[in-house]
Structure 1
């Protein structure tokens, strides 16, 4: 399995504090939450079915490379359900189409090049006041993902048959069986021939 791991600070690294400055403890890269909101869509939505991230909904990219498997993101510890495995994705911008948002988020979080994937289908989880769209894509030209923001501990290609062995984000875990059946039914092979 290929994987990309976020850089970490060594606990043994000496910290030097210039004279007259207060000493601050900086968390390792994977424990840092991005500062401030980056978009008006970066907000929680509450309702009778629970609390969800993304004022205008959210979307994630289910990337399938028939030679490598599914691209999974080990979620940063500060994120909702941190430490679990899921899809690169996040809050949509106002007026943004789900496919565009999923491709944008996957590029931002995992350096997934949109020109190297082809959209297969979308799957929507809708609670009335919020919706999450999974955008399934197949890799048409090989690439290696890279952690490109602090939302990932690790990125990993996981064989389709082994995805369920990971500690999955509850939402993705609940949807995975149906997504897998649909993905494999789309004519994309489970493994290279």
Structure 2
């Protein structure tokens, strides 16, 4: 781990103590395979906040990143995805006090089998609207946001 990563982890940890969220800003994504129209969700491990809930792929935005770069990095780190991204569509932004979390829909060509890190205990592809339970509170808020559901549905219908 470099000094820069250590410094950022310290900042993220301090933010967790202050706000209850890892970092000052975060970003995450659900992934849709254009070929099937299904969405990949992560089943959160017992070692993270809100364990055993279904969520998106994401985390804190590092100093040198924008939200889209953070989402792409997190998708590679947490799901092992290194393929082409066809579209990155902005969705619901969760805000609480000084914390914000930007959500995106990442559209790829085909479903893949994720290579998970310690943050997830599983992953599964779901049809839109047939969501698993329990959902992470952030993902539940995303799925309750009509403009986000409309954007997800529209992306699926373009296949």
Give the TM-score, by structure 1 length: 0.67
Mapped partners of 1:121, 1:82: distance in 2: 25
Where does residue 129 of structure 2 map in the other structure? 161
Give the TM-score, by structure 2 length: 0.80
Mapped partners of 2:97, 2:64: distance in 1: 17
- Greater radius of gyration (CA): 1
Where does residue 109 of structure 1 map in the other structure? 78
Where does residue 101 of structure 2 map in the other structure? 132
Mapped partners of 1:68, 1:108: distance in 2: 23
Large movers: runs of 4+ above 3 Å: none
2:102 is paired with a residue whose SS is: strand
Instruction: Give the CA deviation at 1:135.
Output: 1.5
Change (3 A) 1:114 1:99: farther
Change (3 A) 1:86 1:101: same
Contact 2:55/2:136 (8 A) holds in 1: yes
User: In the alignment, is residue 45 of structure 1 matched against residue 15 of structure 2?
Assistant: yes
Gaps of 5+ in 1: 1-37
The equivalent position to 1:173 in structure 2, one of 136, 140, 152, is 140
Q: Provide the aligned length of Structure 1 versus Structure 2.
A: 150
More helix by share: 2
Gaps of 5+ in 2: none
